[in-house]
Amino acid sequence: MPSGPEKLPSWRRLAKLAEGGVASEGGRLALSRTARRAAPERSLGVRVGPLLVEFSRQGINKETLAALVELAQESELPDAVEAQFRGDRINTTEDRAVLHTALRTPAHERPASDADAIEREQRRMLDFAEALRLGERVGHTGRLIRTLVHIGIGGSYLGPRLVCEALASPPGRRPPDIRFLANVDGHAIARSLAGLDPETTFFAVVSKSFGTEETLANAAAARSWLLERTLQPAALAHHFAAITANVAAAREFGIARDACFPMWDWVGGRFSVWSAVGLPLAVRIGRQGFADFLGGAHRMDRHFRSAPVERNAPMLLALAGLLNANFRGASSHAVLAYDMRLRRLPDYLQQLEMESNGKSVRTDGEASAVHTAPVIWGGEETNGQHAFHQLLHQGTRAVSADLVAVVNPAHRHAEQHERLLAHCLAQGEALERGDNAEDPHRRTPGNRPTTTILLDELTPHALGALLALYEHKVFCAGRLLQVNSFDQWGVELGKRLAPPVKQALATGVVQPETDPTTAALLDAIRARRSRK
């Protein structure tokens, strides 16, 4: 495979097709008359269990689809998929395998080297979650745990928060309330701890290294809050758990050995919700619900490995994204959640896609000559229709979009739900069709490419399948663009620069080598700082 996707014959073919059919005019996506006459494929809906992924509004005709399939084959995408599932060290910059999929694979299909450990630790985590859920694990005074505070950031937070807010607890005993604490901002921990009783509060600290600055600062503040109110150091062991690869550090922090759960080095943070990082979800929906969540993801895994490119939902998502970003001028991608339970989906996908593929260097160490990850954003609908859809329809910047909806709601307000679904379908049609109104101020160009994803119901199984769909999309995009989707070196510089700035804030001493703008801002902060 040549270094750089732009050197592949299929890429050049797509560029030629774009010249004849798709142009970027002043940042706008516009199809030429030739492209408008070339009917898009109307049978690009792919059904995977409870999900329908409909690509027909991507404006992909037979010739373009053939070129995209050719690009996947020339990029050796099917072989790369098997290499990932086989456990090859595809994270080349960190020399690691990428095996989060093994966590949701039936025991007899897992890699032999890890099968026993996965089974053992998964059972131990689920036993622990059930004990919290059913009131069998209590606080240091014997009172039931009423609130679980999950402390993590990035992938240790975005995935668990999404799934816990999206899924309802099954009928029966009410599980502990779940709160999430991520930001190092003191307002965040003040809000998370407000109104809590230390005797009935439990903390789960999630950090692979047990050294993540924000997470450890919040965990230390939570520990102080607990000890100051109980005056019993022994209480710590009854109110904390850790999910980490650094058990020694967690033990030193004061967490009991039986409350420490592993994170393997072959599970990246943004792919970790299937692991013990999913503890709050297991507490919320129970053992069977968590098994259904894993089962939905595994169903998507099977589809991903077996379906041909032209009927493979994750591969088509990635190919459509590449087409829009590199040949249609779409620099950003909106995720429009037509179900309020999925309102956290844009935040989750923002990290999953931008941290994975927001790279400017290829896997061979050379600069990329193509557009990699777009900006991911979006929101809860129909709220977004009254906030930012104006830009989607008439703005000068091309934006592609995913519209995600649920066919059968979990409420009995049928009229509201029909209105919601009607708006979802109408927005997709309006973005594609446009309106050639006589008044130029009312005119909308259309040809905005969208994918519609319909879930039969928002169940653990369906949500597991949806998240796995996007995980595999990200992997495919990275392979097609020839970037490593499983590192994040770009975030390291800011981390290294922060400690001396913190030291200057604490001491008031600005070192001579400090950046001039940073020094000036430090002076401004010091001059206006309250002395209270």
Catalytic residue annotation:
355, 386, 495
* Sign of the four-CA dihedral 411, 341, 466, 286: negative
Structure tokens at 471: 């995980």
Before 382, cis peptide (omega within 30)?
A: yes
* Distance between CA atoms of residues 481 and 515, nearest Å: 35
Q: How crowded is residue 185: how many other Cβ atoms within 10 Å of its Cβ?
A: 11
From the list 226, 200, 212, 224, the residue with the least C-alpha distance to 148 is: 200
Name the phi and psi angles at 228, rounded to 5.
-65, -30
* Distance between CA atoms of residues 332 and 374, nearest Å: 5
3-state SS, 455-484, equals EEECCHHHHHHHHHHHHHHHHHHHHHHCCC
* Distance between CA atoms of residues 88 and 111, nearest Å: 11
DSSP 434: -
3-state SS, 52-104, equals EEECHHHCCCHHHHHHHHHHHHHCCHHHHHHHHHHCCCCECCCCECCCHHHHH
* Distance between CA atoms of residues 229 and 193, nearest Å: 12
* Distance between CA atoms of residues 464 and 291, nearest Å: 10
Before 452, cis peptide (omega within 30)?
A: no
Structure tokens at 326: 């590199």
Structure tokens at 327: 């040949």
* Distance between CA atoms of residues 282 and 278, nearest Å: 6
* Distance between CA atoms of residues 144 and 176, nearest Å: 9
The pairing of beta strand 45-48 with beta strand 51-54: antiparallel
